[in-house]
């Protein structure tokens, strides 16, 4: 899907969930769409602060968290730091990832292992889960850290 269409769809979801449109929110989403990988909140903040001097880090982080809650943005802890990316699912549906530990490239995994676990936990109520695989993508397999 073209980046402009993704941005329009994302802004529609923002409005649908009761958030007002701001140029800062649009710029935040556009940055994540263009990056197409996990980035730190600091990277997002640095980019936004260039265009909106004086913007607080807390505001950026709060927006990232709120957009995670409505499924626009995905988060993960990578190498001890929270990272964020625009949802790689065009329909913002549940999915899992392989994440390159060198470049941050992400591949969507098109299956969910929860059926296996549900069978073993049939007397429990599962409220959420996360499944991510970490390693090196094809380009980074020979890169020395």
Q: Within a domain: residue 118? A: yes
Q: Tokens 């625009």, residue?
A: 86
Please indicate if the annotation marks 129 as binding a ligand. yes
For residues 62 and 129, membership in a common domain is answered with no
Angstrom distance (rounded) from CA 15 to CA 78: 30
Angstrom distance (rounded) from CA 5 to CA 94: 20
Residue 22 has a pLDDT of: 95
Residue 122 has a pLDDT of: 79
Q: Within a domain: residue 71? A: yes
pLDDT in tens, 55-91: 999 999 999 999 999 989 988 887 788 989 888 655 5
Please indicate if the annotation marks 103 as binding a ligand. yes
Strands (E), the chain: 39-40, 73-78, 81-86, 96-100, 106-109, 132-135
pTM of the shown model = 0.73
Q: Within a domain: residue 10? A: yes
Decide if pLDDT at 145 tops 60. Answer: no
Q: Within a domain: residue 34? A: yes
Please indicate if the annotation marks 100 as binding a ligand. yes
Please indicate if the annotation marks 137 as binding a ligand. yes
Other beta carbons within 10 Å of 21: 10
Residues near 93 by beta carbon (within 8 Å), at least 6 away in sequence: none
Please indicate if the annotation marks 96 as binding a ligand. no
Residue 1 has a pLDDT of: 58
pLDDT in tens, 92-142: 566 777 888 888 788 888 777 777 777 788 788 877 777 788 899 999 988
For residues 80 and 123, membership in a common domain is answered with no
Q: Mean pLDDT across the stretch 31-60?
A: 94
Please indicate if the annotation marks 68 as binding a ligand. no
Q: Would you say 119 and 85 are in contact if contact means Cβ atoms under 8 Å apart?
A: no
Overall number of domains in the chain: 2
Q: Which domain holds residue 131?
A: 96-135
């Amino acid at each position: 899907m073209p980046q402009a269409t993704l941005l329009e769809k994302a802004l529609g979801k923002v409005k649908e969930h009761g958030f007002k449109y701001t140029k800062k929110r649009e710029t935040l989403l556009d940055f994540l769409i263009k990056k197409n990988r996990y980035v730190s909140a600091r990277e997002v903040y640095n980019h936004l602060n260039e265009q909106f001097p004086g913007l607080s880090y807390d505001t950026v982080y709060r927006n990232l968290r709120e957009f995670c809650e409505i499924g626009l943005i995905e988060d993960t802890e990578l190498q001890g730091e929270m990272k964020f990316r625009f949802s790689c699912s065009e329909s913002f549906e549940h999915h899992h990832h392989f994440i390159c530990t060198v470049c941050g490239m992400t591949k969507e995994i098109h299956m969910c292992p929860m059926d296996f676990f549900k069978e073993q936990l049939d007397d429990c109520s599962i409220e959420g889960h996360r499944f991510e695989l970490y390693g090196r993508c094809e380009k980074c397999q020979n890169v020395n850290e």
